[in-house]
Amino acid sequence: MNPARREMDSAAGSPGKDECMVILPAIDLHEGQCVRLNQGDYATAEKVAESPLKTVNAFEEAGARWLHVVDLDGAKAAKPQNDNTIFDIVKNTHMHVEVGGGIRDMNTVEYYLQNGVSRIILGSAALRNPEFVKEAVQKYGKKIAVGIDARDGKVAAEGWLETSNVDYLDMAKRMEEIGVRYLIVTDISRDGMLNGPNLVMLDKINNAVSCNIIASGGVSNLKDIIDLHELNLYGAICGKSLYAGSLDLKTAVLAAHRISGKHMHSEEAMDDFIEQYFQKGDLIPAVVQEAATGEILMLAYMNRESLKRTFSTGYTWFFSRSRQTLWNKGATSGHVQKVVSIHADCDDDALVVKVIQTGNACHTGAHSCFFKNIWNQ
């Protein structure tokens, strides 16, 4: 990895080159509301939260230090439209905020930075006017990022409404030559679809330039966070997965921190992370809970390998004490459990696994294994 990657002023709250991948929860603003789009289509805009500020406060409580904000209306209008909402967030949280959408000139760059925004994202302007990007980078350095949004490998602009003939790798190299340190890379076909990021695309661009790469689009679960970490990316933006409940932000932040072995291969880092839960024995009880309802579905046990497979696949794996073998929940029945989050108790000797349950959890055909009422007061 080029030593230029993962460098940023510690005062700005970003990690050094030996620390963890940055998790950036995202909000897209449309008429002052938090919305999400599918593949950049404005017609799919869906309100996902009542209050942008309350949403960001929850992100901060979950441990996130950076926030990714897109002014969707600004992207279409080519000038800020949700700036008052953004400044309200900046003033009332301790998070570092990066903002994109409608930033086309130096006056707008300065307007946002003077009002407390930590990093500016230039998108369409970078494609249309590279001299503007050069001027902004020369004046503000690390506070300038460039968003490369690609559709079929070609860079899109104007709120993804137009697609150019510029290859995304060529665009990245041009930005690197200008001096851009941060690239936010999105495969539009993956955005908002919860089907995983484009790992091939991200790996290519990460190896093609020395810029810090922030992945955007497609992140759906904890496995995606681990996959992105293994590519040695600087950061990952999480949007729809947080609102849909398929990814728990606190778990993602913790996982990114725990699996970042300082100079270790990711496999070793993962083993080290898992080992802390087996200090008292070779098995740990795992209470499986339905994420949407809070209903307790079952109790099973994990060993090191089953917990590792749960992390790497995003679905539950357990260890059968009677058969002395690993088993993947739903492998034969199809009643799989997609993991949303995993929490350890205060002593790190028991787990609560929150899942999205397909079908029934119990082998008897009941939805939950805990259907026998043996006492009521």
**What residues are labeled active site?**
28, 149
The answer to whether 93 and 57 have CB atoms below 8 angstroms apart is yes
Rounded to whole angstroms, how far apart are CA atoms 216 and 146? 12
C-alpha to C-alpha distance for 342 and 360, rounded to whole angstroms: 20
Beta strands at 154-157 and 144-151: parallel, antiparallel or unpaired:
antiparallel
Q: Measuring CA to CA, which residue among 205, 152, 157 is closest to residue 180?
A: 205
DSSP 25-81: EEEEEETTEEEEEETTEEEEEEEEES-HHHHHHHHHHTT--EEEEEEHHHHHHTS-S
Distance CA 342, CA 289 (A): 10
The Cα–Cα gap between 156 and 145 comes to 16
Q: Please name the amino acid found at residue 267.
A: E
Exposure on the CB side of residue 91, measured as CA atoms within 13 A: 9
All residues at 6 or more sequence positions from 172 whose CB lies less than 8 Å from its CB, including other chains = 148, 183, 185, 205, 208, 209, 211
Helix residue ranges per DSSP H, 276-352: 304-313
Separation CA 189–CA 353 (nearest Å)? 30
Are 103 and 125 in contact, with CB atoms under 8 Å apart? Answer: yes
What residue type is assigned to position 207 of the chain?
Answer: N
What is the DSSP code (8-state) at residue 205? H
Task: Tell me how long the chain is.
Answer: 377
